[in-house]
């Protein structure tokens, strides 16, 4: 970023320069102005977590919303102190391009809508964050990555735990192989869905969610396994659906699913995700020790880190605030986020393989 900008751009073709300009402009900006974030979708996660977190962030602030309910949007404007002119509908998102107060668009809509809204966000020239899972298919992930690259904007996935201290220490231990490579891994994550109302309505709708607990809670287990293996991809997947104890509720998506991830170094990860039980657990064993992500490893509070060499615990943090500040700091430094669109695509590739195996009676799927 210390290079003379004119000299640098002069070495590029006109087309290449046009693609890079938004990123360079973002990284070159100076001053203490907080970046403006617009939330797309005002459901429970935006209302209960992201909105409040944006009151605590150091590098960004809530500057607008996109919603299908104009009155709800006006309420958010009054509550968070941004102008009502920064309330947009899904059909007017393109106008965000004209709003200099908005720098980042954060897509928080149901899974199947991610591609549509990320593509629309990219066209505005703003940086983009998309909630997990990135999409309901690898094809959609490819389209989202292409849209952001063509627009010259960054794309990050809302993997907040990459910025959470216990998880960051686990990642460090894995990459440094302080216990050797993790070869036996077990992970479980789920909660009991009691009804099909409220936020569970779209979770139980296959067209909107793309699947059941695997697409929701199982993504965290996949992420943790990939962290344990220093982000190496698995080489094969086998999976099977668990019993459906409430067919009247789970008539479109699975209630429980189990899968195993195999690695080139013979490591195996046995995993499970469910809407039948309140259960969360992650343990990894290596030749010289073990690591346990204790407490509530995948939730918003309650993380613990236990190892065969002692506990390594840190004070609680606002994970969403650290995530958004962290992503903005990475972009300001001219870097892609550690939770990039490519990482999101990798995880959707694994999700697709798990469903392919389970739908074919547990047949082993190579990657």
Which two structure tokens, joined as six digits, stand for 234?
């698995």
Q: What is the pLDDT of residues 93-129, one digit of tens each?
A: 999 999 999 999 999 999 999 999 999 999 999 999 9
Q: What is the pLDDT of residues 279-311, one digit of tens each?
A: 999 999 999 999 999 999 999 999 999 999 999
Which two structure tokens, joined as six digits, stand for 74?
């006006």
| Mean of pLDDT over the chain | 92
Q: What is the pLDDT of residues 42-69, one digit of tens each?
A: 999 999 999 999 999 999 999 999 999 9
Long-range contacts (CB closer than 8 Å, 24 or more residues apart) made by 197-203: 198/44, 199/43, 199/44, 202/110, 203/253, 203/275
| Residue 328: pLDDT over 90 | yes
**How wide is the angle at C-alpha 110 spanned by C-alphas 274 and 56, nearest 5°?**
95
Rounded distance between C-alpha atoms, residue 279 and residue 261, angstroms: 20
Between β-strands 60-66 and 256-262, what pairing exists: parallel, antiparallel or unpaired?
unpaired
Q: What is the pLDDT of residues 124-178, one digit of tens each?
A: 999 999 999 999 999 999 999 999 999 999 999 999 999 999 999 999 999 999 9
Which two structure tokens, joined as six digits, stand for 354?
């798990």
What mean pLDDT do residues 230-236 have?
A: 95
Q: Please report, rounded to a whole number, the percentage of residues in the chain having pLDDT higher than 90.
A: 89
Angle of helix 219-228 relative to helix 165-176, nearest 10 degrees, comes to: 40
| Residue 199: pLDDT over 80 | no
Q: How many CB atoms lie within 10 A of CB 366?
A: 9
Strands (E), the chain: 35-40, 60-66, 87-88, 104-107, 127-130, 155-157, 184-190, 236-241, 256-262, 268-274, 279-286, 289-295, 303-307, 365-366
* Residue 155 dihedral angles phi and psi, to the nearest 5°: -135, 125
Which two structure tokens, joined as six digits, stand for 205?
């709708």
Q: How many CB atoms lie within 10 A of CB 245?
A: 10
Looking at per-residue pLDDT, the higher value among 15 and 35 belongs to: 35
Kindly list the distances between the CA atom of residue 165 and the CA atoms of 187, 228, 312, 322, 339, in Å, as whole numbers in the listed order. Answer: 19, 15, 10, 10, 15
Q: For residues 289 and 307, is the Cβ–Cβ distance under 8 A? A: yes
């Amino acid at each position: 970023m210390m290079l003379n900008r004119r000299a640098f751009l002069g070495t590029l073709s006109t087309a290449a320069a046009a693609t890079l300009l938004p990123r360079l402009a973002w990284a070159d900006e100076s001053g203490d102005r907080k970046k403006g974030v617009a939330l797309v979708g005002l459901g429970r996660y935006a209302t209960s977590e992201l909105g409040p977190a944006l009151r605590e962030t150091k590098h960004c602030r809530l500057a607008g919303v996109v919603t299908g309910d104009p009155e709800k949007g006006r309420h958010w404007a009054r509550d968070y102190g941004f102008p009502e002119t920064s309330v947009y509908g899904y059909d007017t998102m393109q106008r965000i391009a004209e709003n200099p107060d908005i720098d980042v668009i954060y897509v928080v809509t149901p899974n199947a809508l991610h591609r549509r809204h990320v593509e629309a966000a990219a066209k505005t020239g703003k940086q983009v964050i998309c909630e997990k899972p990135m999409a309901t298919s690898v094809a959609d992930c490819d389209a989202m990555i292409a849209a952001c690259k063509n627009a010259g904007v960054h794309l990050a996935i809302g993997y907040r735990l990459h910025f959470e201290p216990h998880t960051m220490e686990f990642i460090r231990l894995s990459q440094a192989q302080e216990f050797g490579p993790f070869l036996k891994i077990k992970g479980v994550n789920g909660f009991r869905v009691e009804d099909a109302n409220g936020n569970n309505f779209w979770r139980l709708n296959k067209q909107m969610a793309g699947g059941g607990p695997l697409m929701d809670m199982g993504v965290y287990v996949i992420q943790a396994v990939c962290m344990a293996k220093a982000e190496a991809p698995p080489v094969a997947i086998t999976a099977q659906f668990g019993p459906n104890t409430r067919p009247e509720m789970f008539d479109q998506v699975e209630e429980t699913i189990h899968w195993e991830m195999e690695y080139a170094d013979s490591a195996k990860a046995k995993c499970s995700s469910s809407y039948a039980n309140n259960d969360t657990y992650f343990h990894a064993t290596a030749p010289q020790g073990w690591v346990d992500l204790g407490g509530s490893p995948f939730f918003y509070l309650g993380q613990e880190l236990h190892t065969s060499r002692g506990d390594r615990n840190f004070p609680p943090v606002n994970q969403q605030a650290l995530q958004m500040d962290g992503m903005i700091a990475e972009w300001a430094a001219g870097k892609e986020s550690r939770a990039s669109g490519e990482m999101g695509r990798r995880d959707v590739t694994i999700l697709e393989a798990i469903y392919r195996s389970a739908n074919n009676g547990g047949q082993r799927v190579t990657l």
